[in-house]
Structures are given as C-alpha cells and as structure tokens.
Amino acid sequence: MSLTLHYHPLSSYCWKTLIALYENDTPFTPHVVNLGDEAERAALLKLWPIGKFPVLQDDARSEVVPESSIVIAYLDRYYPGSIRFIPDGDLGLQVRLRDRFYDLHVHDHVQKIVGDRLRPRDQVDPFGVEQARAKLRTAWDMIEHDMAYHEWAMGSAFTLADCAALPALFYGNKVLPFVETHKRVAAYLERLLARPSIARVIAQAGPYFHMFPQEASG
C-alpha cells in the first residue's frame, strides 16, 4: 500500500482528508502521530518541517503532500474514485473558493476560540475571542442563505467544499452553537453527519473527545 496518512484522529483538518479517503474507499495506511512524543514529532518534522498534519506520504510516487486541501487535490488527480472532489472549469474554482471560505472564515475563527481556552488564565484574549465570534455569526448567516438552495455546499454533488465544511461546522457548533438560530445550517450539518464516511471519522475520534478544551466557567 503506497499511501500513508500521518494524522491525529481529533484534528479537524485531518478529518477533512479522512473524509475524502473514505468517500472513495482509497486504500491507505493510517499513522497516528502523537505530537507530545519527541520521537514522533521529530519524524513528522522530517517529512514536513512546519510540523502540522495531515501529511500524505506516497511511496509509489516518492511524494510527500502536506495541507488538507492539497492532499485532496492530489488524491483527485492521482488516485481518483467515484467522487470527483474538484470539478473542472468554473465550478472547480467555486468549489475551491467555498473550501477557502470554510477553512479561513469558519475554521480559523473556531481555532482562535479553542486556542484561547488552552491559554493560561492571565493570558487569555477576550477581545480576540469576541471578534472571532462576530465573524462566525457572519459566516452562519452566509451559510444559512446558501443552504436555502443547496443540498451540499456547492449544490447536488459532494465535493472538497463539503469535506472542509464538516469539521468547521462540527467544532463551530461547539464554540458558537447555531442549531437554534440557523436551522438550515443545522440541517446541513445533520446531512453531513449521516454520510458513512463522516460517521466513521467521528467514531474514530470519539475516544479523544475528552481532550477537546471546554469553555472555562466562573
């Protein structure tokens, strides 16, 4: 098996890549990386000096591919399956734009809020967190509007954009819940969670959910 995915089951960007792999039943070897282990961290840094996952290693083509969106584009090109994640032409550009929307205008703000929960109490950034929440509210409104017309992020076909949407919305709903305020967004998340590939990703992450930082009380 030529493909190895270096990842962690709780990582949201790893979820994005795993969804694509599972959707097309692409054979690969999963390699869970514990960044708290010095040797495992060093091995990942040797592959990708930035030190973030996911990283796809393709021994057949002697390639190391980092970054979730690029990994999925690579799979689309060299290991295609029944689902084409990035269509050709203008639709492909729109899919990439929607992928960027979920990563940059949802996911990054979610990570800001989660990251603040990991800071020492005397170093938290309440202003930055409120800015992130305000931007997420704007994103929820935009998605609510789009989902009046779409089954999936870009219409009737499941694409790269939906791979990006799932982790962004799943964790986003934990830091700024939208179930009561944005019914179409909530329904879209439910459709995503019903897909077998995504259910599999969530199940594999289950044993690690206790590591997700909860909001401090008091």
pLDDT of amino acid 218:
43
Instruction: Return the closest-CA partner of residue 199 out of 54, 71, 19.
Output: 19
Q: Are residues 45 and 152 in the same domain?
A: no
Asked, for residue 217, whether it belongs to a domain, the answer is no
Asked, for residue 212, whether it belongs to a domain, the answer is no
Asked, for residue 141, whether it belongs to a domain, the answer is yes
Instruction: Return the closest-CA partner of residue 136 out of 111, 99, 166.
Output: 111
Q: Are residues 156 and 103 in the same domain?
A: yes
Measure the CA–CA gap between 1 and 28, rounded to whole angstroms.
Answer: 6
| DSSP state letters, 34-89 | -TTSHHHHHHHHHH-TT--S-EEEETTTTEEEESHHHHHHHHHHHS--SS-SS-SH
Asked, for residue 72, whether it belongs to a domain, the answer is yes
Question: Residue 46 is part of which domain span?
Answer: 3-78
Q: Could you tell me the pTM of the whole model?
A: 0.94
pLDDT digit string (tens) for 9-65?
999 999 999 999 999 999 999 999 999 899 999 999 999 999 999 999 999 999 999
Q: Are residues 52 and 32 in the same domain?
A: yes
Count structural domains, the chain: 2
pLDDT digit string (tens) for 121-143?
889 999 999 999 999 999 999 99
Q: Are residues 182 and 139 in the same domain?
A: yes
Q: Are residues 96 and 201 in the same domain?
A: yes
Asked, for residue 36, whether it belongs to a domain, the answer is yes
Q: What is the dihedral of CA 55, 31, 104, 188, to 10 degrees?
A: 130
Confidence at 212, pLDDT banded by 50, 70, 90? confident
CATH code of the domain containing 151: 1.20.1050.10
